[in-house]
Structure 1
Amino acid sequence: MPHTDYDVVIAGGGMVGASLALSLYTRSKGSLRVLVVESFALPPLAESGLPTYRPSFDARSTALSYGSQQIYRELGIWPQLQAHQSTIAKVHVSDRGHFGSVLMTAESQGWEALGYVVENMWLGNVLLNHLRQHTNVAFLSPAKVVEIDVADGYATLSLQEGDTQRDITTQLIAVADGAESSLRSQLGIATSVSEYHQLAVIANVATEQPHKGCAYERFTERGPLALLPLVDDGSGQSRSALVWTFPDKMAEEVMAWSDSEFLAELQRNFGYRLGRLQKVGQRASFPLQLMQAEEQVRSRVVVMGNAAHSLHPVAGQGFNLALRDADSLSCLLAVAHSEKRALGELSLLQRYLASQDLDQRVTTAFSDQLTGIFSNRKPVLSVVRNLGLLLLDVTPAAKSRFVARAAGIMPGSSAESS
């Protein structure tokens, strides 16, 4: 096995790339040499060992499943993340204008929570701050991998750092540079894309009544919407994170609405479960599609995160699936490294993909089918859908399995039966 500069290089230092680096460090007990290459400048390292939390009404957030919380607890950062997270104690699912609904609770599962909502800035800073205290995890930022050349036993990467370009070698390159991955395209890895012909609008909303840890999934004539509980931003107002889908032909109209028009339409569709909707923050929008890379592994190369699979956001499955992928890969690489095996061997990477295949297929299908079922407003399907919600609500075993799947726990696992 030839000597290389690094064991693993991660192209992309976002939440997936940083989580992969932390898992590699933890699972290998610091024995793997890891480099994270990130195109944006990193924030200063906190002298206290803890990043600074700066509350903002408009902060973007991520819903972490119960399964993801278990992973971050094993990786040692959950106590820090917990300082600024909102617990999802229950989820209420309903269909506007119809009788069907279902309430899912953590208590009924015997769990502390169904999930948690963490602001992206806090999650990212906790990950990076924790990693940068370990010498075997190096960072190159701002910089990017501009070319990958795979040889027998290693990969050579061309790095661009400012005006300087240089080459390094690694046993394995993890491509985690997002859904529009330039490296995936450069490698000639094709993607399979299914257009939802929908637009997602995201924003934070202040509500008259406190959310009390309840998340809402509401299916409307426009499209499905989700409201996730957020921590107080310091102003004393209760906040929830909104993801609302619309037909893509409404893109210009929706983004042109004034805040009062947007709140009025949201109130009409969501109702008064949280009282009056008092304020909406900065809105952002993006088109929705299901994207999957047709190859996730090659000799010396693995594709991760949104570069590997990008899902509909309303079901909240995308990042949690990526985190499970990252931890599964890290566990396998740590064992291989201890056995002095080459980390970029195709047979080893195929083992990783085989171990995650069922999870990826089931999670993708769960997200895609849930979106399709609740985006279709045909009267006959509406009746079937609402009967299904009623049946789910009165069938504890079926509800428990549904909750476990949404929490990222595969059937038959010890967590499901706990």
Structure 2
Amino acid sequence: MNQPLPDVDLAVIGGGMVGATLALAAARTGFSVRVIEAHPPGVAGQPSYDDRATALSWGSRRLLEGLGVWADLAPHAEPIRRIHVSQRGYLGATRMDHHDSGVEALGYVLINRQLGPVLHQALEASGVAVTTPAQLLDYQEGEDRLVLNIRQGQEEQSLGARLVVGADGTGSRLRALAGIDVHESPYEGSAIIANVTPGQDHQGVAYERFTDEGPIALLPLTRGPDHERRCSLVWVRPQEQVARTLAWSDGEFLARLQDRFGHRLGCFRKVGQRAAYPLSLIRAKRDTAPRVVLVGNASHTIHPVAGQGFNLGLRDVRTLADLLAQARADGEDPGSPALLSDYASRREGDLNTVIHTTDALARLFATPFSPLAHLRGAGLMLLDRCGPLRRQVARKGMGL
């Protein structure tokens, strides 16, 4: 039997990091909000709240401060004081320092499972309704709302919403139901994710090291349970080597990593559990449909080379929340064609810039052609020596 739920102004499909943040921001505007989440209650069942690390830009910190959650996140957030970018086997490197940009940190790094509880506690405190575990089945268009049909356990339920936000990830069900196609371009490799313990203190430095097999990123983390300094590793490996890499012993894994990364952090001592994630550029051909808007990975899944994925999603959240606040103040429909059109136009420039830049970086540094490698090294050296350009790049990465 189809049991109706109370109608809401906004239904958010997906309660992961972007969806939960959007629900918090939307609730602060005064609109009623319900989150539809596929995974069971509690962050243990939520895939986006795992042991992966997330790099937060300075702009993302400001958004989370505005939502009142940063104070609870700050003890778990390791500041990025400096960024060091280099290319294995060639001269040239770029260094960025927080002092150059006049901020206390260029960004912050958190483990997702530390971020999850804070967001969900804030959701509970804000009174946002959460229906979980529940799946979106389909929807029908009404005169002034969409009627969503969902399944929770053995029961089917329905609810009306004036705006439905798709925050349900790369394989978005809402996107498919709305008839929105995607551009998909796979990359030659997968990201190996793990936490490692270096021989030397990371001192708040984030490293990006480009190699002929793919980039290596090491992000600084807070001290672990054993009080040792740790780094979050993202190591892009050729697809044909992924299974072998996961099967290596800890000793062999660390030795291979040492060979590719070098000794800037001394000798690596420990590695935690490893996991692999295939990499693709996936971009929705449009971000809106009647009373539907896509945010985060439902709209754009990008290469992790610059650590911009979650920050890009939070900028979606900020733009949509600003428009919703204005609509609430003016007594307007949150799902109006004008609001959706305004959202799409406001996000277009930032999305195109970040998507094209990260895609170009991923493909440019994956090319082993020697003359091109020398040009890349020269470019890194030029960026390092040109203060104004370096500061401009840093500010863009900070979301400012």
Instruction: From 180, 185, 201, give the equivalent of 2:171.
Output: 180
CA contact (8 A) 2:212 2:365 kept: no
Cα distance in structure 2, aligned partners of 1:368 and 1:337: 37
- 1:108-147 matches, within 5 Å, as 108-135=100-127, 137-147=128-138
CA contact (8 A) 2:178 2:292 kept: no
CA contact (8 A) 2:24 2:126 kept: no
- 1:53-72 matches, within 5 Å, as 59-72=51-64
C-alpha displacement of 1:186: 2.6
User: Is structure 2 residue 279 aligned with structure 1 residue 288?
Assistant: yes
CA contact (8 A) 2:301 2:309 kept: yes
Does the residue aligned with 1:179 lie in a helix, a strand or coil? coil
Does the residue aligned with 1:118 lie in a helix, a strand or coil? strand
Cα distance in structure 1, aligned partners of 2:319 and 2:191: 30
C-alpha displacement of 1:214: 0.5
Task: Determine the structure 2 residue equivalent to 1:319.
Answer: 310
Instruction: From 17, 21, 32, give the equivalent of 1:15.
Output: 17
Instruction: From 386, 395, 399, give the equivalent of 2:377.
Output: 386
Task: Determine the structure 2 residue equivalent to 1:167.
Answer: 158
C-alpha displacement of 1:42: 2.3
Cα distance in structure 1, aligned partners of 2:242 and 2:293: 35
**Cα shift readout 1:223-266 (whole Å, capped 9, x = no counterpart):** 11100001111202210000011222222222222221111110
Does the residue aligned with 1:335 lie in a helix, a strand or coil? helix
Cα distance in structure 2, aligned partners of 1:150 and 1:115: 42
C-alpha displacement of 1:333: 1.1
Provide structure 1 residue ranges, at least 5 long, that are not aligned to the other structure: 45-57, 410-418
Cα distance in structure 2, aligned partners of 1:95 and 1:369: 16
Cα distance in structure 2, aligned partners of 1:300 and 1:89: 42
Cα distance in structure 2, aligned partners of 1:176 and 1:335: 22
User: Is structure 2 residue 37 aligned with structure 1 residue 35?
Assistant: no
Cα distance in structure 2, aligned partners of 1:356 and 1:76: 24
Task: Determine the structure 2 residue equivalent to 1:376.
Answer: 367
CA contact (8 A) 1:10 1:176 kept: yes
Instruction: From 134, 152, 173, give the equivalent of 2:143.
Output: 152
Cα distance in structure 2, aligned partners of 1:261 and 1:150: 57
C-alpha displacement of 1:210: 1.0
Task: Determine the structure 1 residue equivalent to 2:80.
Answer: 88
Task: Determine the structure 2 residue equivalent to 1:277.
Answer: 268
C-alpha displacement of 1:404: 1.3
Does the residue aligned with 1:236 lie in a helix, a strand or coil? coil
Cα distance in structure 2, aligned partners of 1:166 and 1:311: 34
Cα distance in structure 2, aligned partners of 1:259 and 1:408: 37
C-alpha displacement of 1:330: 1.0
Does the residue aligned with 2:42 lie in a helix, a strand or coil? coil
Cα distance in structure 1, aligned partners of 2:296 and 2:139: 19
C-alpha displacement of 1:119: 1.3
Provide structure 2 residue ranges, at least 5 long, that are not aligned to the other structure: 1-5, 44-49
**Cα shift readout 1:83-126 (whole Å, capped 9, x = no counterpart):** 11111000111111111011101011111100000111111111
CA contact (8 A) 2:193 2:233 kept: yes
User: Is structure 2 residue 393 aligned with structure 1 residue 402?
Assistant: yes
Letter in 1 for 2:149: S
C-alpha displacement of 1:338: 2.1
CA contact (8 A) 1:297 1:346 kept: no
Does the residue aligned with 1:133 lie in a helix, a strand or coil? helix
CA contact (8 A) 1:209 1:274 kept: yes
Using the size of structure 1 for normalisation, the TM-score is 0.91
Using the size of structure 2 for normalisation, the TM-score is 0.95
Cα distance in structure 2, aligned partners of 1:97 and 1:190: 41
Cα distance in structure 1, aligned partners of 2:365 and 2:57: 21
C-alpha displacement of 1:405: 1.6
Cα distance in structure 2, aligned partners of 1:237 and 1:222: 29
CA contact (8 A) 2:36 2:130 kept: yes
Instruction: From 333, 354, 369, give the equivalent of 1:363.
Output: 354
User: Is structure 2 residue 236 aligned with structure 1 residue 245?
Assistant: yes
Alignment size in residue pairs: 389
Does the residue aligned with 1:159 lie in a helix, a strand or coil? strand
Does the residue aligned with 1:237 lie in a helix, a strand or coil? coil
Task: Determine the structure 1 residue equivalent to 2:46.
Answer: none
Does the residue aligned with 1:375 lie in a helix, a strand or coil? coil
C-alpha displacement of 1:25: 2.1
CA contact (8 A) 2:281 2:302 kept: yes
Cα distance in structure 1, aligned partners of 2:117 and 2:136: 22
C-alpha displacement of 1:176: 1.0
Task: Determine the structure 1 residue equivalent to 2:217.
Answer: 226
Letter in 1 for 2:54: T
Task: Determine the structure 1 residue equivalent to 2:252.
Answer: 261
C-alpha displacement of 1:208: 1.3
CA contact (8 A) 1:37 1:141 kept: yes
CA RMSD of aligned residues (A): 1.3
Cα distance in structure 1, aligned partners of 2:362 and 2:341: 30
